A = this chain, B = another copy of it.
Amino acid sequence: MRGAVLYAPGEIRVEDRPDPVIAEPTDAIIRLSATCVCGSDLWPYRGVEKVDGPAPMGHEYVGVVEEIGDRVTTVRPGQFVVGSFFASDNTCEICRAGYQSSCVRREPMGAIGTQAQLARVPLADGTLVATPEPPPADLVPSLLAASDVLATGWFGAVAAEAGPGKTVAVVGDGAVGLLAVLAAGQLGAERIIAMSRHAPRQELARHFGATDIVTERGEEGVAQVKDMTGGLGAHSVIEAVGTQESMMQAIRSTRPGGHVGYVGVAHGVELPGQELFFSHVHLHGGPAPVRRFLPELIGLICDRVIDPGRVFDLTLPLERAAEGYEAMDERRAVKVLLRP
């Protein structure tokens, strides 16, 4: 099969890789219908995260089950499935509490690499969710979004306790931030402030339900959110970047007693304990437990209530994955879909 491999910062090659085989009786092999490039793929691509040797890339995926191990019972060959970026058993105490991305048996799909034609999915019963029927082609991008960026934005909104009567601010206008706007809307937020300086992203944010746009960043962005909330700050702030500046912007934009949901993978972040202490905010986040939300999200997509696939503004064949990375790195594309 063909698959994308990162050789060095900035160097993505699509090359022949061995076809995956069932290694454990709980595995499934899927043929990918679509995959994509994640904002978090840019960390190693940019050399911020160190990579040892050639690394298969990708952890977002939808596809059709080709083969299952002997102990797989909930999905069968021919079904269209959506998975998550951590395989999970969905039965351990941590999974049952809704934190499948910290499953005691979790396996990172990023190490397997789903920017490929085929992928082995460990713990298939606990990881994959089948759609009620094979989806029409136009729903595939939205279902692909559910495997990471939508579920991540959704988790951010849930962690920030977005809901009725709440003013929600979103720091970050990448795919996750934009879909956090969508999630906040679905969760019933009264007012949704998208923080973005880019017209096309602002437009998408409005499409997804943003009621206000703030173009300022950092302390000016904080001041703007406070001005809009009687000096108090937002009830809920979703952080979808992962830098020191964005985390502090999120914390400082939140009122005392409010909630910060942070889902941008933290890089180089050090939170000042004393400021956090006196901020009185709730802080929760981390890698989204995609599996928790998949059944609900698949339902909303199949019923055409939400259209998160709108975040894909560039579609390329898998063979041209390198161009996709470039476009995202240069922020020419919000999110790149790859057709294997």
> Which residues from chain A sit less than 8 Å from chain B, CB to CB?
93-94, 97-99, 101-102, 104, 230-232, 242, 244, 247, 255-257, 262, 265-274, 276-287
Instruction: List residues of chain B with CB within 8 A of the CB of A285.
Output: 277
Partner of A282, one of B242, B265, B280, B283: B283
B267 x A270 contact (CB < 8 A)? no
Q: A190 to nearest B CB, angstroms?
A: 14
Give 10 nearest A-B pairs by CB, closest first: A269-B273, A102-B256, A266-B273, A99-B257, A271-B271, A283-B283, A266-B277, A280-B286, A282-B284, A99-B256
Q: Which B residue's beta carbon lies closest to that of A267?
A: B274
Instruction: List residues of chain B with CB within 8 A of the CB of A286.
Output: 256, 276-280
A284 x B283 contact (CB < 8 A)? yes
Given contacts A102-B256, A231-B104, contact A274 B282 (CB under 8 A): no
Instruction: List residues of chain B with CB within 8 A of the CB of A287.
Output: 277-278, 280
- 17 additional contacts (CB under 8 A) given A270-B271, A280-B287: A93-B255, A94-B255, A94-B257, A97-B255, A99-B257, A101-B280, A102-B257, A104-B231, A242-B277, A262-B277, A265-B274, A269-B277, A271-B271, A271-B273, A276-B283, A277-B286, A282-B283
Q: A291 to nearest B CB, angstroms?
A: 13
B247 x A97 contact (CB < 8 A)? no
Dominant SS among interface residues on chain A: mixed
B232 x A280 contact (CB < 8 A)? no
Q: Which B residue's beta carbon lies closest to that of A272?
A: B270
Q: Which B residue's beta carbon lies closest to that of A159?
A: B282
Instruction: List residues of chain B with CB within 8 A of the CB of A277.
Output: 242, 262, 265-266, 269, 285-287
Q: Which B residue's beta carbon lies closest to that of A266?
A: B273
Number of copies: 2
Once bound together, how far apart are the Cα atoms of A102 and B281, in whole Å?
Answer: 11
A273 x B273 contact (CB < 8 A)? no
Q: Which B residue's beta carbon lies closest to that of A259?
A: B284
A257 x B104 contact (CB < 8 A)? no
Once bound together, how far apart are the Cα atoms of A230 and B93, in whole Å?
Answer: 10
Q: A115 to nearest B CB, angstroms?
A: 23
Once bound together, how far apart are the Cα atoms of A122 and B277, in whole Å?
Answer: 24
B247 x A273 contact (CB < 8 A)? yes
B269 x A274 contact (CB < 8 A)? yes
Once bound together, how far apart are the Cα atoms of A99 and B282, in whole Å?
Answer: 12
Q: Which B residue's beta carbon lies closest to that of A273?
A: B269
Instruction: List residues of chain B with CB within 8 A of the CB of A282.
Output: 282-284
Partner of A257, one of B97, B232, B242, B274: B97
Given contacts A232-B93, A232-B94, A257-B99, contact A273 B280 (CB under 8 A): no
Instruction: List residues of chain B with CB within 8 A of the CB of A283.
Output: 276, 282-284
Q: Which B residue's beta carbon lies closest to that of A265?
A: B277
Q: A162 to nearest B CB, angstroms?
A: 16
Once bound together, how far apart are the Cα atoms of A256 and B95, in whole Å?
Answer: 10
Instruction: List residues of chain B with CB within 8 A of the CB of A93.
Output: 230, 232, 255
Instruction: List residues of chain B with CB within 8 A of the CB of A242.
Output: 273, 277
Once bound together, how far apart are the Cα atoms of A58 and B310, in whole Å?
Answer: 58
6 A-B pairs with C-beta separation under 8 A: A93-B255, A94-B255, A97-B256, A265-B277, A270-B273, A271-B276
